[in-house]
Amino acid sequence: MARAATTSDAFNAVAEPRRRAILNYLAMQERPVGEIVDSLGLEQPSVSKHLRVLLEVGLVNVRRDGRRMLYRTNAEAIRPLHEWTETFERYWRHQLSRIKERAEGKNNPSSDSGPNFIPRRKHDYDGNKN
């Protein structure tokens, strides 16, 4: 199966780690390209390319301020990503709770053994008897 273009939807766009880094950096306030370049240590053409992809799928908005272009995240476009990942967040939270319960049970073996549990030693068993 051929892979979809990175500009086809938000999920493909955020598959690229540098785009996720840019989105994280823009999460709290709008910023110009030069500031993104300096902060993330990426080359300006690379940042511009990634911003163009994010803009095309609607994950960022841009506005002109004189000669500068200011980018910011588009929270409404990010919402489907968040809602989709929430499913997995609930799954992992449940899994971690189960692991915690098992670990706590192993630390307190008397709670799993029941009231009639009699511990056996290795030499209590006779290998010749059925």
- Do residues 19 and 56 make contact, with C-beta atoms less than 8 angstroms apart? no
Sheet hosting strand 68-73, strand order edge to edge: 31-32, 68-73, 60-65
Between the ranges 20-34, 85-99, 109-123, where is the mean pLDDT highest? 20-34
The predicted-structure confidence for 5-17, as pLDDT tens digits, reads as follows 556 788 889 889 9
Task: List pLDDT tens digits, range 27-80.
Answer: 989 999 999 999 999 999 999 999 999 999 999 999 999 999 999 999 888 888
Please name each of the domains of the chain with its CATH number. Answer: 10-74 (1.10.10.10)
The answer to whether the CB of 79 falls within 8 A of the CB of 86 is: no
Alpha-carbon span 118 to 73, nearest angstrom: 62
